[in-house]
């Protein structure tokens, strides 16, 4: 059954759940140096603190989309909020490093279930005319998570230590679990679908990665996720002025959110998401070079990284908007979201250690290889965005798009 009225209240709740899921990465990134010190870990090992939850999504992203359909999306959200709260509570005790890393990896299962199931329910709760806009709002969850964590986590850490940050996240997840139980309605299409398992997990992967309409959003997105977390985590560390570093830590993800929301409006009412993607990757490439030039000249870098993150936000919003622009068939969009999650988590897993290894022990001089890596990622993402543009036929998102899987 297609809704004629968009259910904005439960959609808003699902976006908040997504923000809490994003904090499973952001809560560590926001207190990166104190967390590394708490475990006496070098930066390259501490980078795994940030990216460890992505390991599960990297391996099981598409599989989880099939399994979530079999279990029921609402049930998955409830279960994953409970699991995430328990694991954050365990982390709050700052257990031995292997236990902490294990909890972080397991936390990836809770994260994966949330980011797979929430957008499916958002689509089901949206009227057709609002699907792309609602999805772009969902696309802002990661940036919002980093912005809120960048603002609140250092305050909490100074007051109660790193463990207090993880305890606060556990409480947030528990509160959201109660809110979901009370507010999130049952909607047609979210109930368990036993037939979702009948084709087999392997077959689901084969079918998804043979269909450009299913795999292309994820392939475009991975170039973004490889650099997003490293940019918001490490670029502030290059600022000589501590006050500038603090501003960047909070405002870089906030500005990316503005770009994400703008991408939703632009993609829905003026042009196609691939055009927005191309503009986003081009803007990031130009502005990362400008950031390097300012650092080389020992000049403040405040405004340029903020502008860079606006274009990064365009990429994120347009990548999520690309899914319904290629197909609105529920099976196709579910798998496309699974592939996007899988490849996005691959990028989030590989990105922080990769960037950390480039800059470890080199100071500001280490930004040159960072710049070249970001430029290379932008070139790759731009090329694949052009492929997506050809597939969509340069039609506005509000136009009808065939709902074929191929």
What are 52's two structure tokens?
């460890």
Secondary structure (DSSP) of 193-232: -GGGGTT-HHHHHHHHHH-HHHHHHHHHHHHHHHHHHHHH
Q: Give tens-digit pLDDT for 342-392.
A: 888 788 778 888 888 887 756 545 688 889 999 999 999 999 999 988 887
Main-chain dihedrals φ then ψ at residue 77, nearest 5 degrees:
-60, -45
Q: Which of 359, 396, 393 is nearest to 374 (CA)?
A: 359
Q: Give tens-digit pLDDT for 133-173.
A: 787 788 788 778 887 888 899 999 999 999 999 999 999 99
Q: Is residue 281 helix, strand or coil?
A: helix
- Per-residue confidence (pLDDT) for residue 186, from 0 to 100: 82
Main-chain dihedrals φ then ψ at residue 311, nearest 5 degrees:
-70, -35
Structural domains present in the chain:
8-189+201-392 (1.20.1250.20)
- Per-residue confidence (pLDDT) for residue 107, from 0 to 100: 93
pLDDT at 231 over 80: yes
Q: Give tens-digit pLDDT for 163-188.
A: 999 999 999 999 999 999 999 988 76
Q: Which of 100, 76, 83 is nearest to 28 (CA)?
A: 100
pLDDT at 405 over 60: no
Cβ contacts of 190 within 8 Å, gap of 6 or more? 72, 73, 74, 120, 121, 124
- Per-residue confidence (pLDDT) for residue 273, from 0 to 100: 84
Q: Give tens-digit pLDDT for 325-335.
A: 787 666 677 77
Mean pLDDT (whole number) for 13-21 = 95
pTM of the model: 0.74
Q: Give tens-digit pLDDT for 204-213.
A: 778 778 888 8
Q: Give tens-digit pLDDT for 285-298.
A: 999 999 998 888 77
Main-chain dihedrals φ then ψ at residue 292, nearest 5 degrees:
-60, -40
Instruction: Tell me what percent of the residues of the chain surpass a pLDDT of 90.
Output: 34
Q: Rounded mean pLDDT of the chain?
A: 83
């Amino acid at each position: 059954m297609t809704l004629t009225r968009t259910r904005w209240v439960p959609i808003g709740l699902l976006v908040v759940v997504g923000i809490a899921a994003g904090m499973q990465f952001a809560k560590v990134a926001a207190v990166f140096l104190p967390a590394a010190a708490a475990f006496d870990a070098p930066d390259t090992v501490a980078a795994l603190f940030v990216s460890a939850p992505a390991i599960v999504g990297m391996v099981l992203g598409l599989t989880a989309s099939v399994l979530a359909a079999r279990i029921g999306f609402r049930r998955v959200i409830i279960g994953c909020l409970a699991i995430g709260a328990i694991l954050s509570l365990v982390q709050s005790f700052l257990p031995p490093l292997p236990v902490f890393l294990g909890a972080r990896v397991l936390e990836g299962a809770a994260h994966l279930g949330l980011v797979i199931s929430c957008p499916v329910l958002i689509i089901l709760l949206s009227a057709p005319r609002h699907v792309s806009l609602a999805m772009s709002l969902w696309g802002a969850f990661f940036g919002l998570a980093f912005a809120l964590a960048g603002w609140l986590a250092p305050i909490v850490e100074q007051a109660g230590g790193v463990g207090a940050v993880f305890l606060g996240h556990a409480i947030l997840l528990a509160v959201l679990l109660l809110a979901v139980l009370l507010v999130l309605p049952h909607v047609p299409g979210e109930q368990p679908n036993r037939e979702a398992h009948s084709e087999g997990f392997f077959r689901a992967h084969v079918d998804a990665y043979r269909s450009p309409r299913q795999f292309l959003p994820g392939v475009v997105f991975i170039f973004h996720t490889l650099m997003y977390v490293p940019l918001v985590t490490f670029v502030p560390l290059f600022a000589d002025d501590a006050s500038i570093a603090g501003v960047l830590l909070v405002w870089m993800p906030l500005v990316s959110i503005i770009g994400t929301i703008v991408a939703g409006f632009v993609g829905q009412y003026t042009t196609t998401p691939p055009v927005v993607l191309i503009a986003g990757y081009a803007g990031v490439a130009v502005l990362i070079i400008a950031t390097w030039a300012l650092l080389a000249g020992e000049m403040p870098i405040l405004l340029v990284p903020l502008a860079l993150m606006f274009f990064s936000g365009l990429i994120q919003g347009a990548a999520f908007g690309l899914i319904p622009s290629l197909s609105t068939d529920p099976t196709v969009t579910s798998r496309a979201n699974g592939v996007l999650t899988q490849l996005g988590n691959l990028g989030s897993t590989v990105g922080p250690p990769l960037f950390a290894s480039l800059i470890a022990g080199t100071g500001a001089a280490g930004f040159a290889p960072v710049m070249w890596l970001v430029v290379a990622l932008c070139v790759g993402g731009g090329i694949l965005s052009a492929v997506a543009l050809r597939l969509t036929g340069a039609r506005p998102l509000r136009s009808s798009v065939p709902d074929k899987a191929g």
